Amino acid sequence: MTFLDLRAATLGQAHVAHAHDHHQLILATCGATELAIEGRGDRITGSRGCLIPCGRHHDYRGDGRNRTFVLDIPAKSLPALRDGEAIGRLFERPRFFAVPPRLNRLAASLMQQLEYCPALHSEIAALLLRALYLHLEAEPLPADVGAPAVRGFSERLDLARLDAWIDRHLADEIRVEQLAALCALSAGHFHACFRELTGMTPLAYVQRRRLDHARTLVTHSGLSLGHIATLVGFRDQGSFSRAYRRRFAVSPSRARREDRAFPSPGQEHRSSGQAGGPEST
């Protein structure tokens, strides 16, 4: 790659994660793509674009219906561009930015021109990049300064739905990709959104639900500890006991003994009634 490389693409629903040695502009004319850069993400739409500096790891997953400009910009090409030094500064950090309707209309028009005249891709790329530079220079967005922020995480994550799914699959291996798919997010974006919302990673959250469910079984069922370990997704009783002790500061066997040695008031009442027979009225 020696100069600007512009292409129009439909980003599919497969999760892709990589890094590359060139800067990249992502700009959609329609549809949506979930994209995260080093764990912080946003949603690329006709009103939201993204600048990815070279070497930054990122992952994405499209909706399969988007039309998206992907512009690759080798750093060595910048000196040859008009305002190349200033454009280079746009890629000093990852950045998501608002796309006003006029810029979206221009992008849609340029996409048509690219499809009609693919030989002009360098000229079309330069025009698109110039228009973006002028937009960002004229209308800086304070929210974009620094690392890109996770937007709308509380609206995108339905914790009640996730909890129900996790509880149905406690005995199985649960992967972040499975949870992300329930929210139509890439794994990286889901991880960032989930941590922002809950204060913990998705897998730590799953582990907590496993152990909370196990605690109920330990204290309110006669199942063996090995059986309980299997039901909540641990490979053996030893790893289950260690995790249980870290979570509750007591081993599951001791928790069971203590619960039976000191029954709740309701349990005492039932035991008393069973020992002395029904009370007369």
**Hey, which residues does 27 pair with through a beta bridge?**
69
Q: Cα(212)–Cα(207) distance, rounded to whole angstroms?
A: 9
183, part of any domain: yes
271, part of any domain: no
Interval 140-191: pLDDT, tens: 544 443 444 444 455 567 888 899 999 999 999 999 989 988 887 788 888 8
Q: Is 208 exposed, middle or buried (0-12, 13-18, 19+ CB in 10 A)?
A: middle
Place of tokens 């989930």: 194
Domain count for the chain, please give it: 2
Identify whether residues 133 and 164 lie together within a single domain: no
pLDDT reading at 95 higher than 60: yes
Among 144, 166, 184, the domain-final residue is 144
Pairing of strands 95-98, 5-9: unpaired
Identify whether residues 240 and 122 lie together within a single domain: no
pTM: 0.56
**What CATH number has the domain bearing residue 138?**
2.60.120.280
Interval 64-84: pLDDT, tens: 999 999 999 888 877 777 777
Which range of residues forms the domain containing residue 60? Answer: 5-144
Interval 23-66: pLDDT, tens: 999 999 999 999 888 877 788 999 999 999 999 988 898 999 99
Place of tokens 């100069």: 3
54, part of any domain: yes
pLDDT reading at 138 higher than 70: no
Identify whether residues 190 and 139 lie together within a single domain: no
Q: Which two tokens stand for residue 209?
A: 């639900």
**Other residues' Cβ atoms within 10 Å of the Cβ of residue 109:** 12
Instruction: With cut-offs at 50, 70 and 90, classify the pLDDT of residue 275.
Output: very low
